[in-house]
Amino acid sequence: AQSVTQLDSQVPVFEEAPVELRCNYSSSVSVYLFWYVQYPNQGLQLLLKYLSGSTLVKSINGFEAEFNKSQTSFHLRKPSVHISDTAEYFCAVRGTNAGKSTFGDGTTLTVKP
């Protein structure tokens, strides 16, 4: 069984400030880890994924996430946010041998001018 906990339901920040969205998971098997972003009235877009190898993964738009096995965490960070980053962010885990993903409850990131 797997579970995902996103520790903050809402994160308001000012433009150009740094942000961290926290995600912890539990699983009895090896997992892949993902961050998805959902803009209003749209589907989910894959933002980042950790499969294996380097524990720090980066996206093309400045987000990064670090897999910490000992703390079972996969926190998402960005050093300087933009208004356009306002969206819902979902952390998800997927067993390496399973067809199902488990999603966290989501974190609403609101970037204010």
Task: Please report how close the Cβ of residue 19 comes to other proteins at its closest, in angstroms.
Answer: 19
Q: Which of 28, 41, 54, 70 binds other proteins (CB under 8 A)?
A: 41
Do 37 and 48 form a contact (C-beta atoms < 8 A)? no
Q: Which of 63, 67, 94, 109 binds other proteins (CB under 8 A)?
A: 94
Instruction: Pick the closest to residue 76 from 15, 11, 28 (CA basis).
Output: 11
- Burial of 83 by CB count in 10 Å (0-12 exposed, 13-18 middle, 19+ buried)? exposed
If one asks whether residue 22 binds other proteins (CB under 8 A), the answer comes out as no
Residues of this chain that interact with other proteins (CB under 8 A) are 32, 34, 36, 41-46, 49, 51, 88, 90, 94, 96-101, 103-106, 108
